[in-house]
Structure formats: C-alpha cells, structure tokens
Amino acid sequence: MPGGPTAGGEGLGANAPKNKFAGIAMTAFSAFGGILFGYDTGVISGIKEMKSWLRQFGSPSDNLELHKTGFMIPSSDESLIVSILSAGTFFGALIAAPTADYIGRKWGIVFACLVFAVGVAMQTAATAVPLFVVGRVFAGLGVGLVSVLIPMYQSECSPKWIRGAVVSTYQWAITIGLLLASVVNNATKGRDNASAYQIPIAVQFVWAAILAGGMILLPESPRWLIKRGRDADAAKSLSRLTGFRNTDSEVEIELDEIRTNLEAEKALGESSYADCFKFNHNKIALRTLTGIFIQAWQQLTGINFIFYYGTTFFQNSGISDPFLISIATSIVNVFMTLPGMWGVERFGRRRLLLVGAIGMCICEYIVAIIGVTISVSNIAGQKVLIAFVCIYIAFFASTWGPIAWVITGEIFPLQVRAKAMSLSIASNWLWNFGIGYATPYLVNVAPGSAGLQSKVFFIWGSTCFCCIIFTFFCIPETKGLSLEQIDLMYQNTTPIKSLEYRRRLMAESNHGIPLEKAASHRDDASNEKV
C-alpha cells in the first residue's frame, strides 16, 4: 500500500539514543529536494523580466513606459510559461506513490532528479516558447515526484523525537531555493546575451546532481524493504539510521514493530479513492476535504504571487531595483521559517494557523490600500509597501508555510492515508497552476487583462480572511497526539472543541490509561462543553 508524507506515528529509531545524529543527518539531507522546487519557482520570476530572455521569447514593444526593456511577452505566453510547471507537478504527485512502491523511496527520488534534469536541459537549449514550455512540464514532473517522495522518505526514516522538525526541513529548503534563485538572477541580469537566463536555468543541474548523488549513498527506507521481503537489507538500513549494529536487539525490536504495522495495514485491505469521501463515524470525508482545502488555501494566501511575479510587481510599483527587493523578501522567507518549525510544537498547529491568517489578511489589505492611494513616485510610500509585503511573508513563512504540510501528514487514518495524501498534494499543485496562470491576466495592464496591479492584494486579503474561517471550523489541535489519538479526536469531538479534548487525551496518556479505555469516553466527549 503506497505511503504518503506523514509527521506522526512512532517513527524509526524511537528507542535510539539521542546522540546518534548520523541517521538524522541522512534524512535531513534528503530535504535538499525542496531546493529544486524553490529555486525553479524563484528563477522564473526573475528571468522573465530579463531583456535577453524577452528578446528571445517575446517581441519588440514601442511602449517603453510599460515595457522598459523594449520587449514584451503576451499575458497568454507568460501565464503558460509560469504556470505549466505546476501542471507537471500535479501529475508528478499523482504518480509518486506507485513509483515509490515499485522502485523504492530512495531510487524514486533519484529517478525524479533524472526527469527534472531532462526538463532543465530543454529549457536551457530552448530558443522558442514551445520547447521552453515542454521543458517546464518535465521539470514539473520531477518536482511533483520529489514533493511526495522526500517527506515520505523522511517520515519513514526519522526518529520519533525529532520527526516533525526533520520533515519540516523540506519547506525550509524550498525557501532557501527561492533565495538562491534571487541571488543568481541578480548576478546575471546585466548580461546582454542568452547566458543571462541560461546560467540561472542551468544551475539547476547542480541541485539535481547533489540530490541524486547524495540519495545514492543513503540507505533505503527499512519500511519499504520489509514490505518487499528484504529483511536482511532492512536490518542493515535501520542500523545505519539508528546507530545500532544490525545484530543488536533494538534493531530487531524496531523491525518487529514495522512488520506488525504492515500486517495491520494488510488486514484493513486495499482502499479506493471513493473510501476517502465516506461520511462515517471516523469522519473520513471531513479529513480528506480538510487536507485538500488546507493545501488549496495555502496557495490562495497569495504567497506564490510574490515569488512568481514579485520582480514584475515591484518593478511596476516604481521600485528602482526589483531584483534586490526579491532577494530581501526571500531572506525573510528563509529565516522566518525557522521560528515556525520551532513554534509548531511549542504553540500548536491551530493557534499558529489562526495567527498567521489574521496577520496575512491585515498586511495584504494594507498593501492593497497603499497601492491604490500612493503614487509610484512616492518613495516613502513604496518603502512602506515593501515593509508590509515582508511582514506578510514573515507571517506565512512561520505559520501556513510549514504547518499546512504538518497538518496534512497527521490527520489521515491508516487505511486511506496514501490516497488522501496524493489528493491533498495534487490539490496544492492544481491551485498553484491555476493561480500562476490567472495572475498575469489579473495584474497586467494590457488588452484582455484586468490591470489590477496592486489591487490584486484585495483578493489575497479576502482569501486570507477565508483561511481564518476555515481554520476555526475545520482544523483541530493535534500537537503531541499520536495518530491513534487523532483518530479518537475526529470520532468524538469537533475541531472547535479539540483543545479541551486534546488536554483530556494527553492527561489520560500521561496517567497510563490505555487507548482502548480512552475510546470508551466517546459518548461523554461528544457531549462535553468547552
């Protein structure tokens, strides 16, 4: 049965001493794959504003006030070039689970790097829009595969006590990729030939080679090896990950737990996608829709508008060097993800999502109002605009960026987890595609476009207000709970009352009350008042 990215459960090496960091370093390294997605997202934002790229793929323009380089590209082509990567990632995410089951988690990631490299080669060699677009599709397939396979590999190989932080490093790597793209774009933008955009694109070969080369040296997931009947190889892999010798009793105990879990999965039988939408006492449909919509709302916060179209937006807002501003926003994104990785276990998921949505909503309305009321020649006003864009990014990076992935990994029951995860991640890429494709038509001042420019932030502010409502009614507090306890929470209470029910579960757990005993409180919990 295919697995998906999870941040809960016991994990491997739960009994290993905490000073054995070799396995942690190995699984954390795999997060490097996030750089592939982050860098690709950031690099397209910059190169499509370079004169050499516009000269090659666009057409001359006499409107120098609107098109300062003397060249322009139609909104239709811009939409296709930017958003087609997400179309590829949508299908990549859907085929990731069977890929992982057939060739393994480790070699699946290596295969994804090869697919990604083919796409990079096409983009680097392209001299016309069609080949460039096909290259973006292949790169997207690779990124889509990685977006499922890496959290899957990490969640199956990380020790329990640090599992959440390790899985969160994937989101952090995405932000680092965005920053690297801004730096490289800024370094090459002044070149007056094809190398201005070919260098930033070709650098992606390096990222793919590092990830593929490193994964070849890492152990395969012991869970996958056990599933394939390769017990001896699983013992060797677990030995490398935990620091124990493969003959130690601790390793055999861990392997026995994996075998037990796999037998439990087999006993449940195969599930279908229709099972993900069943309205039963376990609230499978609610959980599946929560996963699908939290990924959708993450995209609808408008964050990718900044990283896909940020250079264009800042340039149209009168910023003298939009490339440097893009570097600044990427730096904020990188460093503000760190407190989010810490805070998710300190303050809880639900609380941080609410705070983040409220903060983003306020900032985006302020940016929209400034954009409407302040002239582009008003330097002070533009600095305030940039400041609130950075504050908005800080709220996203420390809340909705990493926590949406954590929630998606925690809320699904065992029997539908793989399929529900694939649907959720596919939702992320589908909305990513839709927003990337629609934005030029919303923002650009051109025939057939809405010409909203900074007024588009009224839309993002409104969607963030919807994020507040969604979080309040649909997201339970799952901090510190096992997957089994999360099942009980969904069966016995609602997200609004989840804080009190979580305290009850934690208290019962601390007093050694078995899970079966806790389950007997269902009727009481259903009627509890908060």
522: nearest Cα among 508, 510, 420, 511: 508
Rounded Cα–Cα distance for residues 405 and 298 (Å): 10
Rounded Cα–Cα distance for residues 68 and 22 (Å): 52
Q: Which one of 3.90.550.10, 3.30.420.610, 1.25.40.20, 1.20.1250.20 gives the CATH number of domain 19-218+269-475? A: 1.20.1250.20
Q: Give the highest mean pLDDT range of 50-64, 83-97, 308-322.
A: 83-97
Rounded Cα–Cα distance for residues 152 and 175 (Å): 20
Helical H segments across 104-162, by residue range: 105-125, 129-157
Q: Give the highest mean pLDDT range of 144-158, 303-317, 340-354.
A: 340-354
50, 155, 400, 417 from 299: Cα distances, Å: 26, 23, 10, 22
Would you tell me how many other CB atoms lie within 10 Å of the CB of residue 466?
A: 15
Q: Fill in the amino acid letter for 374.
A: I
Asked if pLDDT for residue 192 goes beyond 60, the answer is yes
Residue with more model confidence, 118 or 492: 118
Q: What H or E segment, with its residue span, contains residue 60?
A: strand 59-60
271: nearest Cα among 414, 407, 409, 103: 414
Q: What is the pLDDT of residue 315?
A: 66
Q: For 24-45, what is the mean pLDDT?
A: 83
* pLDDT tens per residue across span 124-167: 999 888 899 999 999 999 998 988 888 778 777 776 566 667 77
Cα 30 versus chain centre, distance: 14
Q: What is the pLDDT of residue 396?
A: 94
Q: What is the pLDDT of residue 510?
A: 61
Asked if pLDDT for residue 108 goes beyond 60, the answer is yes
Percent residues over pLDDT 70 in the chain: 81
In the structure, what pLDDT confidence band is assigned to residue 317 with cuts at 50, 70 and 90?
low
Three-class HEC string of 364-384: HHHHHHHHHHCCCCCHHHHHH
Would you tell me how many other CB atoms lie within 10 Å of the CB of residue 448?
A: 10
Tell me the domain boundaries of the chain. Answer: 19-218+269-475
The mean-pLDDT minimum among 14-18, 328-332, 404-408, 509-513 falls in: 14-18
Rounded Cα–Cα distance for residues 452 and 317 (Å): 12
Q: What is the pLDDT of residue 15?
A: 47
Please, what is the average pLDDT of the chain? 80
In the structure, what pLDDT confidence band is assigned to residue 270 with cuts at 50, 70 and 90?
low
* pLDDT tens per residue across span 474-515: 999 988 776 667 888 888 888 888 888 888 887 876 655 555
Q: What is the pLDDT of residue 11?
A: 46
Q: Are 411 and 7 in contact (CB under 8 A)?
A: no
Q: What is the pLDDT of residue 527?
A: 44
Residue 417, φ and ψ in degrees, nearest 5: -60, -45
Q: What is the pLDDT of residue 343?
A: 87
Which tokens hold the place of 74? 């139609």
Residue position matching structure tokens 């790169």:
139
Q: For 458-465, what is the mean pLDDT?
A: 93
Q: Where in 297-377 does DSSP place strands (E)?
A: none
Rounded Cα–Cα distance for residues 145 and 103 (Å): 13
Q: Tell me 479's DSSP state.
A: T
Q: What is the pLDDT of residue 447?
A: 67
Q: What is the pLDDT of residue 207?
A: 94
Q: For 167-172, what is the mean pLDDT?
A: 80
pTM of this prediction?
0.76
Q: Are 416 and 282 in contact (CB under 8 A)?
A: no
106: nearest Cα among 143, 156, 172: 156
Q: For 194-210, what is the mean pLDDT?
A: 93
270, 399, 414, 457 from 170: Cα distances, Å: 29, 15, 23, 28
Which tokens hold the place of 26? 């190995």
Q: Fill in the amino acid letter for 348.
A: G
75: nearest Cα among 447, 323, 458: 447
Q: For 278-306, what is the mean pLDDT?
A: 88
Which tokens hold the place of 404? 């949406």
In the structure, what pLDDT confidence band is assigned to residue 402 with cuts at 50, 70 and 90?
confident
8, 23, 211, 257 from 26: Cα distances, Å: 19, 5, 12, 22
Q: Fill in the amino acid letter for 216.
A: I
Return the axis-axis angle of helices 379-398 and 400-410, rounded to nearest 10°: 20
Q: What is the pLDDT of residue 8?
A: 39
Residue position matching structure tokens 């993450």:
298
In the structure, what pLDDT confidence band is assigned to residue 446 with cuts at 50, 70 and 90?
low
